[in-house]
């Protein structure tokens, strides 16, 4: 089963060094993303499965939560079971007044 947390639950996790992967396309990521997020566009996830293999929990974010959930569901087929979707996505992160970083 794929876990899911809200954007408000994400902030303290990032402060403690959690791994966050943003699956939006490169232009969306460059326009503004959560600080420390790593860009792996959904269209490339199938070629980059091993980058999601991590000792700890891997948090996955997109714009609002749909694409990140699709990525989690896809990756679950590869026995990657430490994935958590971020409900609300980058839109929710911004709505809470959190900082975003532009550029790659």
Q: Which residues carry out catalysis?
A: 62
Two structure tokens written together for 5 = 């947390």
* CB distance 2 to 72 below 8 Å: yes
* CA atoms in the 13 A half-sphere facing the CB of 79: 0
| CA atoms within a 13 Å half-sphere pointing along the CA-CB vector of 101 | 9
């Amino acid at each position: 089963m794929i876990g899911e947390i809200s954007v408000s639950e994400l902030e303290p996790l990032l402060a403690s060094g959690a791994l966050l992967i943003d699956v939006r396309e490169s232009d969306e990521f460059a326009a503004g993303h959560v600080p420390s997020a790593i860009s792996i566009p959904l269209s490339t996830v199938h070629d980059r499965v091993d980058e999601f293999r991590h000792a700890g929990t891997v948090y996955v974010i997109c714009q609002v939560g749909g694409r990140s959930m699709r990525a989690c569901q896809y990756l679950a087929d590869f026995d990657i079971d430490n994935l958590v979707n971020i409900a609300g996505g980058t839109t929710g992160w911004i709505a809470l007044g959190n900082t975003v970083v532009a550029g790659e």
